[in-house]
Amino acid sequence: MKKGVKILYELERMRKEIDQYDKSLVEIIEKRLETVLDILKYKQEKGLPIQHPQREHDVIEKTTSYLRNPEFSIEIQELFKEIMRLSRKRQSQVLFPCNIVLIGFMGSGKSTVGKLLAQQLEMEYVDMDHYIQEKLGLTIEQIFETYGEEFFRQHEKETAMELGLLNNTIIVCGGGIILNNENIVNLKRNGKTILLNTEAEEIYNRIKDDKSRPLLKDKMSVDYIDKLLCQRKSLYLDAADIIVDTHDKNIDAICKEIVGTLLRS
């Protein structure tokens, strides 16, 4: 046999070997995903917590210890992190097929909570203010300054209509989303609204040094925040499917409360 033909033959043989391993991997991963969904169903029936960060840590340790050649530890760790990320994503698609819509006053923590929730649940994430900023190529401050509040509210309304059509997404709203009930109707079509409830003093302490909110520009004080909050309070409460009090709670505790309440609802 010529040398070139022999090399091709060897390569073909090794590729066939890889194809066999891939086939076995797919069979095993399919079984693993099916079992993940069985566990999810079981946990739901028994009311057990869905997330178990320690378990993920244990799986990485255990799977790495099965290696005969420790040289591949990094690859196994990364592979299992990805497998577990995809399992979490699949679980959240089953648990939260609709959207989780965060509402609340400026500084109530919608963006911060939304990002962590999206990461924990492996859900898509859209921040309405950022979406509008990107679409118009301007900051919220520039939009208010150049075109006025009405123009911003019109874009907010169109965005609520558009994002309301999504699935399995964390939607973080602007603080004024409740000013037009049509926005809430559109967002609730395929979503549960979660109100992050916060008092004026706490809001002030969180955002007093941030100059990016046009409605609070040159008016940053506990009294002014309280006044605006009182004007909007009933709109927030009416729009909320679930209310989470954020007082003295850290972001992780707020995320846990949201997930727990949604699962029981």
Ligand X SMILES: O=C(O)C1=C[C@@H](O)[C@@H](O)[C@H](O)C1
Q: Under the rule (CB under 6 A), what is the footprint of ligand X?
A: 106, 129, 140, 174-176, 213-215
Coil, strand or helix at 104: coil
Q: Determine the residue type at 112.
A: T
Give whichever of 181 and 250 is closer to ligand ATP, judged by the CB atom.
Answer: 250
Classify the C-alpha dihedral 39-45-46-49 as positive or negative.
positive
Could you tell which of ligand X, Mg ion, ligand ATP, none binds residue 133, using a CB distance below 5 to 8 A set by kind? none
DSSP labels, 87-130: HHHHHHHHH--SEEEEE-STTSSHHHHHHHHHHHHT-EEEEHHH
Q: Which of 63, 64, 73, 111 binds Mg ion (CB under 5 A)?
A: 111
Give every CB contact of residue 219 below 8 A, 6+ residues apart in sequence. Answer: none
Give every CB contact of residue 238 below 8 A, 6+ residues apart in sequence. Answer: 178
Cα–Cα distance between 168 and 12 in angstroms, integer?
43
213 marked as binding residue: yes
Q: Which element (helix H / strand E) includes 86? A: helix 73-95
Per-residue x/- track, 149-188, ligand ATP (CB under 6 A) = -------------------------xx-------------
38 marked as binding residue: no
Q: Binding segment for ligand ATP among 103-111, 182-190, 220-228, 236-244 (CB under 6 A)?
A: 103-111
Q: Binding segment for ligand ATP among 30-38, 83-91, 93-101, 243-251 (CB under 6 A)?
A: 243-251
Cα–Cα distance between 222 and 206 in angstroms, integer?
11
107 marked as binding residue: yes
Coil, strand or helix at 192: strand
110 marked as binding residue: yes
4 marked as binding residue: no
* Position 192 contacts ligand ATP (CB under 6 A): no
Q: Binding segment for ligand ATP among 26-34, 90-98, 107-115, 142-150 (CB under 6 A)?
A: 107-115
Q: What are phi and psi of 53, to 5 degrees?
A: -55, -35
Q: Rounded to the nearest whole angstrom, what is the least distance from the CB of residue 252 to Mg ion in the complex?
A: 18
β-sheet bridge partners, residue 171: 101, 126
Cα–Cα distance between 166 and 125 in angstroms, integer?
11
35 marked as binding residue: no
CA angle 54, 47, 84 (to 5 degrees): 35
* Position 112 contacts Mg ion (CB under 5 A): no
Could you tell which of ligand ATP, Mg ion, ligand X, none binds residue 176, using a CB distance below 5 to 8 A set by kind? ligand X
* Position 261 contacts Mg ion (CB under 5 A): no
Q: Rounded to the nearest whole angstrom, what is the least distance from the CB of residue 200 to ligand X in the complex?
A: 13
Cα–Cα distance between 171 and 137 in angstroms, integer?
20
Binding-site residue set = 107-112, 129, 153, 175, 213, 232
Binding-site residue set for substrate = 129, 153, 175, 232
Interface positions with ligand ATP (CB under 6 A) = 104, 106-112, 129, 174-175, 206-207, 213, 246, 249-251, 254
